[in-house]
Each structure stands twice: as C-alpha cells, then as structure tokens.
A and B are shown apart, each in its own frame.
Chain A
C-alpha cells in the first residue's frame, strides 16, 4: 500500500512564484488535510476537506488555496510564495469521524520541504 504520497520532496522557490504541492492517498479516506511544521511551533493546520467538493480553512490558511475534486487528491497551492512560507508541509488523511463514529487516526505523508528565497 502506498498510503499518502506527497510530491515533490524538496522545492526551492523565489518570492512571488507559484506552485502546487501534490498529495494523493489510496486508502479511500474521506478526510484530508494539510499541515505546516515549523521549529518550535509543532504542526499547524492550513486547510482540510471532509470529502470531495468540500474544503475549509484551518488555523493558518492565508496564502494557500486548496480544492478537492476527487477523493484521492488534495493539492495545496501557493499563489505567490513568500519567505514566511518556508516550511515543511505534511498532508494527512483519515476516515471521517462522522461516518466511523470514533476518532480515526491520521495517516501522514513524508512531507515536502519548501524553501522560499
């Protein structure tokens, strides 16, 4: 099983450039989310989706867009990169608690390390 796959693993951008971080899961999970990890701050939720066609903002959504056209994919877009977006980005997925009635643990990808200069 591939689980949660993130691409690319590393990326360097110049300020103002745009890019899309890809995330795909093959576990038929309804719930998908994006976190960013910064030293001393843990992981902070950027955006999440409870199913195809449904997205919502997390704790730190500014500067990021998402869409969910299929169950499997949940790309994260940076429209105009800024140095403050230098971080490690993690995609995570799980079954929806609305359906399974209990908290379903998150499955994480291996991350994308992004540097904005």
Chain B
C-alpha cells in the first residue's frame, strides 16, 4: 500500500525565513502526491499536486514542492514565511494504478508550522 512519512510533527520558523516541510513516499511506481493545508477549525485545502507533468510544482500562497524520485521525496518549501502561513500541513499520496483508486488519498500525520516574529 502507498504511504507517506512526514518528518517533524512541529516546525517553527521566524517570519521571513525559509519554510521546509519534509515528506517521503513509499510506492512501487511514481505516485500522485499532494500537499494540503489546514487552518484552525477548517477543512483541508489543496496547496499543490504532482501528477508527473513536471517535477517542480508551484502551488498557492507562494509554496512549491519538488518531486525527487531518487530520494522518494516531495518536500514543501516557501522562500519567506509569513504569519498567515501558520497552520497544519499534510502530505498525501493516491492509489495511482489501482482501478478506481485514484481518488483515495493516504495522508501523512501532519506537520504543524509555527511562524514567530
């Protein structure tokens, strides 16, 4: 089964600093990969997705992620953190290659991002 591992349940950065949230996947074939963000008391919103068209994926709010097959990674970055980026971030992988499984996402355990002044 597909799975993702998010390293670090909590990450703290200063405003204006680089944000790096780590995600590694486990899959026998290159999967579809996603990053979602959850603000307090809300549902999840899609930040970006990788579907094999390009290895560097740009998302909303200045975030981007790079798919590295050799490292089985899909880390999320943002050059300069803002206070409004404080939220929980989830990496997810889909059951690509399984009939009807493309919609089923398996989520990582999440990384809480704190942005300090």
Residue numbers of A with Cβ under 8 A of B are 4, 31, 33, 35, 40-45, 48, 50, 58-59, 90, 92, 94, 96-98, 102-106, 108-111
B27 within 8 A of A: no
Interface size class of B (residues with CB under 8 A): 20 to 34
State which residues 81-117 of B face A: CB under 8 Å: 90, 94, 96, 99-110
Most-contacted residue by chain B among A50, A97, A110 (CB, 10 A): A97
Residues of B within 8 A of A44 (CB): 107
> When the two chains form their complex, are residues A42 and B43 in contact, meaning their CB atoms are under 8 A apart?
no
Is A108's CB under 8 angstroms from B44's CB? yes
Report how far A100 CA is from B65 CA in the complex, Å.
24
Chain A residues with CB below 8 A from B94, complex form: 103
B70 in the interface (beta carbon within 8 A): no
Let me know if A103 and B96 touch, CB within 8 A: yes
The distance in angstroms between the C-alpha atoms of A103 and B2, with both chains bound, is 15
Task: Name the interface residues of B65-90: CB closer than 8 Å to any CB of A.
Answer: 90
Contact of B110 among A35, A42, A109, A111 (CB under 8 A): A42
Q: State whether the Cβ of B9 lies closer than 8 Å to any Cβ in chain A.
A: yes
The reply to whether B103 and A42 contact each other, CB–CB distance below 8 Å, is no
B108 — which chain A residues lie within 8 A by C-beta? 42
Q: Answer yes or no: B12 CB below 8 A from chain A CBs.
A: no
Given contacts A43-B90, A50-B103, contact A4 B43 (CB under 8 A): yes
Closest to B96 in A: A103
Contact (Cβ within 8 A) B44 A94: no
Residues on A with C-beta less than 8 A from B90 are 42-43
Tell me, in angstroms, the Cα distance from A42 to B22 when the chains sit together. Answer: 15
For B105, list chain A residues within 8 Å (CB). 43, 45, 106
Q: Give 1 or 0 for each of B30-46: 1 = CB within 8 Å of chain A CB.
A: 00101000000111111
| Assembly CA distance A31 to B101 (angstroms) | 11
Give the CA-CA distance A40 to B49 in the complex, in Å: 23
Choose among B34, B51, B100 the residue that contacts A50 (Cβ–Cβ < 8 A). Answer: B100
Q: Which A residue sits closest to B9, measured CB to CB?
A: A40
Q: Is the CB of B104 within 8 A of A45?
A: yes
